[in-house]
Amino acid sequence: MAEYSSRQGTAPSAIDLGTIVDDVWKGFWRIWWLLLVIISICATLFYTHVKMVYEPKYTAEATYLVTAASYYGYTESYYNETTASGLATSLEYVLNSTVMQKTVAEALDMESVPGTIAVAVVEETNMITIKATADSAQMAYNILQAVIESYPIVAESVIGSTTLEVMSESGVPTAPSNEDWSHGAAKTGILIGFVIDILVLFVYSMTKRTIRKEKDFAKILNVKCIAAIPHVRFKKRGKNASKNVELVLMDNFRVPPGFVEAMRSVRRRIENHSLDTKKNIYLVTSALPEEGKSTVAANIALSLALKGEKVVIVDMDLRNPSLADSFALESVKCGTIDVLKGRKEIQDALVQYKDTSLEILPGGKAISKTSRVLSSEKVGNLIRTLQKEYDYVILDTPPCALLNDATMVASQAQAAIFVVRQDYARVDRIYEGIENLAETGVDIMGCLLNGAEVGLTGTGYSKSYSYARYGYGHGEKRYGYGYGGYGIKEDEEKKSENNK
């Protein structure tokens, strides 16, 4: 492990676009709820902001035919575009003049005009359109009427005597003239939220440091990967399939062939290692809970037994014993804890698995304070006794990155197999777990990539399998630890044990 320690910071030098795309896809399904929250927040913020600043404006308008009195008492129409344009300019000046504004305000019995007035010439005619805009529909209409009433008096001194003949009139406006853009703003917020989601997923992919492929063990951890064990799902068998507990064991005919062959490969590696090193006590652990170590340990033991070896597997996870569930053992009344405390003899606690040469020492009733039990000489005595009677002793221990339980057992083991669930534990946690094992002096045989899938669609061992994942629980029952399962109390216990 010296070589490992000297290179533990090594990281891949090239960016794997395929891995990034795969991580983005997986990240989407893992944090889809967060991405949806981001989009919802953006849409709500944009909608609320526009809704709060939006003030409806109402516009009353009318189109007039403009005529002017002649010197001889007759009226004449402003019929050409040039003349009409000039008139419009004059009218605009008149309408926006201080005198006009004051006259309209007096007509409305107000200090100032509560709105705006605009005038425009209808192209190629002697008609003009006057628009009055205000905060309320009635006020806009009142301003327009006041303009028409006040116009002849003010305009006469500027452009002479003119008359405005009504051609069309909108009346009191029934709807705002400025659009309420709040719904459009919400759509913009959704788009911006979507862009933010893409950035979040990209950052998630680039900053995520987990083990995803077999080659990552050498590139990142500088340790060898013994094998990749495929992810397993079981086909549904009727409406109540989800209630059935499927055992992920090699002798279950419903387990895909890929999984069985992978476990046989692991068995051959262990046999070769044992032949070369004369070791037969193998510890199986992982960095964190729910990485599938108990299922892997159970199948290693079963694979050796099916080859004809005499094997015993011991549940040393005293805080959360799970081997009984892995093998579907019923009515387990005693186990490892009872043997270590002297309440039962080894033979009384052992359970034979079917008609194989595999025997199981289940954990028994869970305990929370394990330090005194695991640090006693009885652990070593138990393991040495079993070593004399069996060809292989497989020890299923707790995760070793969070507590000292596994490392205390490792001091009594001869070799260790480290289980790493694909794309699950952070690299720093895996470092910590391997280093904890290395400090005990146990021979770390290598790592197993567990629950391996390839690309966006998985390994393809079966395309219509339902939710019954192997290795991370039994059926829908979760492993039981979780970060919360340990908690601060256990972390403090680990620190206190290190200080002793």
Over the chain (500 residues), what is each successive 10-residue block's mean pLDDT?
A: 45 58 78 91 93 91 75 48 61 76 87 87 78 92 87 69 78 89 91 92 80 89 92 68 70 92 96 96 96 96 96 96 91 90 93 95 92 92 96 96 91 96 92 93 95 58 36 37 40 47
Tokens of residue 317, six digits: 């996870």
Contacts of 203 (CB under 8 A, 6+ apart): none
Distance CA 140, CA 367 (A): 81
Helix 32-53 to helix 17-30 angle (10° resolution) is: 70
Q: What is the pLDDT of residue 456?
A: 46
Q: Does 211-499 match 58-169 at the fold level?
A: no
Q: Which of 491, 62, 468 is nearest to 245 (CA)?
A: 468
Q: Which of 286, 289, 296, 294 is nearest to 250 (CA)?
A: 296
Distance CA 464, CA 236 (A): 8
Contact call for residues 294 and 316 (beta carbons, < 8 A): no
Is pTM beyond 0.75? Reply is no
Q: Which residue has the tokens 């039994």?
A: 474
Q: What is the CATH number of domain 211-499?
A: 3.40.50.300
Neighbours of 370 (CB within 10 A): 24
* Burial class of residue 400, CB neighbours in 10 A (0-12, 13-18, 19+): buried
Distance CA 220, CA 214 (A): 10
| CATH for the 58-169 domain, from 3.30.70.1130, 3.30.70.1140, 1.10.10.10, 2.40.37.10 | 3.30.70.1130
**Domain-by-domain residue ranges, the chain?**
17-54+180-208, 58-169, 211-499
Q: What is the pLDDT of residue 15?
A: 56
227-252 b/e with 16+ CB inside 10 Å = b?
bbbbbbbbeeeeeeeeeeebbbbbee
